[in-house]
């Protein structure tokens, strides 16, 4: 039995095992804020926003001037030659050097050549580019709403884990007190037995209760340790840190849960609803983009370059260079693309219809989740009230049984039975409390209150 009691104490102290560790006191709000800052999913969601902003800057670059430079060196190992009629070649007396009908290969290109050029282009009008620029803010907003939805999920999970630990701690305190009382009574019965005033069955019965209480304490202690690790995981906190939870009062939370039963449903409070609305706007931009892609596009361009040519490599950059420059406009007019644009427009319209259906469905989903959560919360509150009355009654019974036993007018069997009923009532009450806070969290999520 001593080993069991030692194990209870050890497990109970696991989350707080090393006083030298850094201790962090956390209210519920502080725990949720910490999680939003450090949880991996939340951090990645914020990185996605930065990533989209970088992509937007890339799209903006399409509408800005594009300038490029080019350098090229050519070594004609076998320079290209062209054939000229032999009649073109005459001597000093103007006599043909080759018979009529003869063609003579002539090299027009020097062996070495180099080119240095700078080119620039500017889109003047392109329907697709124009729509892409208009859609930039909506794309960033989409990722911001996605990040908001991720943060809400993190807050929801942290709140449930937080109160799971708080209730387990309360349950453990009750078990610890009951175990201490049972041990006191066990010592009394053992003393009576040693003096011949009690039977061995009374001692054994008390020891059985002590062992059961010790086993329950081990179970709750393990639950506390696991719940502590789960909360740290949800928060993105190192498992080595020691945390102390400060929001342990439930009266205010129960009052808040009761008030929430009358809160109105506002669809816009749900990030999922806002996300679908933004997606609808993006799908409308997509439709507009495909429609405008049938319009002509206009771009301006210009080039300035130096050409160098020589048969002497050492003189390639010193003589025989030619400078040229040009500017122009390029107009592209789509004529027929095999009905590709027509079918892309059709697909975009279908996506818009699907998006509208999803918006209507999310409204039904929000209504369903809210109604379900309200019903669960109502039932949990009624059950908790009933279990609280039952727990208070069981506490009165066990207190009276102990007084009677101390006064010598009650039996240890009566105390043991009352203690067992009290612990069962307490377990039911704590489970009801957990159901209330979980139902409250579910309703908060359904109403979009985890901002």
Domain residue limits, the chain: 80-110
- With pLDDT > 70 as the criterion, what percentage of the chain qualifies? 95
Evaluate if residue 166 carries a pLDDT over 80: yes
Closest of 292, 328, 270, 353 to residue 128, by C-alpha: 292
- What band does 149 get if pLDDT is binned at 50, 70 and 90? very high
Evaluate if residue 366 carries a pLDDT over 90: yes
Tell me the pTM.
Answer: 0.81
Decide: 75 and 111 in contact? Cβ < 8 Å. Answer: yes
- What band does 282 get if pLDDT is binned at 50, 70 and 90? very high
Mean pLDDT across the stretch 228-257? 90
Query: For 8-17, 249-258, 278-287, 290-299, which range has the lowest pLDDT when averaged over its residues?
Result: 8-17
Tens of pLDDT along 168-203? 998 898 888 888 888 888 887 888 778 887 788 878
What does the mean pLDDT of the chain come to? 88
């Amino acid at each position: 039995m001593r080993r069991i009691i030692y194990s209870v104490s050890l497990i109970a102290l696991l989350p707080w095992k090393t006083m030298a560790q850094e201790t962090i006191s956390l209210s519920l709000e502080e725990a949720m804020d910490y999680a939003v800052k450090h949880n991996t999913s939340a951090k990645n969601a914020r990185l996605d926003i930065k990533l989209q902003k970088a992509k937007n800057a890339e799209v903006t670059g399409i509408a800005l001037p594009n300038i490029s430079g080019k350098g090229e060196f050519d070594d004609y190992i076998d320079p290209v030659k062209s054939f000229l009629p032999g009649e073109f070649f005459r001597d000093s007396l103007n006599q043909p050097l080759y018979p009529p009908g003869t063609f003579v290969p002539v090299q027009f290109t020097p062996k070495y050549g180099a080119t240095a050029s700078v080119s620039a282009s500017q889109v003047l009008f392109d329907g697709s580019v124009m729509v892409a620029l208009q859609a930039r803010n909506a794309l960033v907003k989409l990722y911001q709403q996605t990040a908001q939805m991720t943060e809400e999920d993190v807050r929801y999970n942290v709140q449930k884990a937080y109160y799971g630990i708080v209730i387990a701690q309360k349950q453990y305190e009750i078990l610890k007190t009951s175990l201490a009382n049972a041990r006191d009574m066990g010592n009394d019965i053992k003393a009576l037995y040693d003096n011949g005033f009690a039977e061995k069955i009374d001692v054994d019965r008390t020891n059985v209760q002590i062992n059961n209480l010790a086993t329950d304490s081990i179970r709750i202690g393990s639950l506390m340790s696991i719940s502590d690790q789960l909360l740290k995981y949800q928060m993105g906190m190192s498992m080595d840190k020691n945390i102390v939870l400060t929001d342990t009062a439930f009266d205010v939370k129960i009052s808040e849960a009761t008030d929430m039963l009358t809160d109105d449903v506002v669809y816009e409070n749900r990030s999922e609803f806002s996300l679908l609305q933004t997606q609808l706007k993006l799908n409308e931009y997509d439709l507009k983009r495909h429609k405008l892609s049938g319009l002509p596009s206009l771009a301006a361009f210009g080039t300035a370059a130096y050409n160098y040519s020589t048969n002497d490599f050492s003189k390639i950059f010193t003589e025989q260079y030619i400078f040229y420059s040009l500017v122009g406009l390029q107009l592209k007019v789509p004529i027929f693309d095999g009905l590709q644009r027509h079918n892309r427009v059709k697909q975009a319209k279908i996506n818009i219809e699907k998006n509208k259906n999803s918006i209507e469905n999310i409204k039904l989903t929000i209504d369903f989740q809210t109604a379900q959560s309200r019903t669960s919360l109502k039932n949990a509150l009624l059950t908790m009230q009933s279990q609280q009355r039952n727990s208070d009654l069981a506490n009165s019974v066990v207190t009276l049984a102990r007084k009677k036993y101390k006064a010598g007018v009650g039996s240890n069997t009566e105390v043991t039975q009352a203690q067992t009923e009290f612990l069962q009532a307490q377990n039911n009450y704590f489970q009801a409390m957990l159901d209330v806070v979980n139902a409250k969290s579910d309703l908060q999520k359904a109403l979009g209150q985890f901002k």
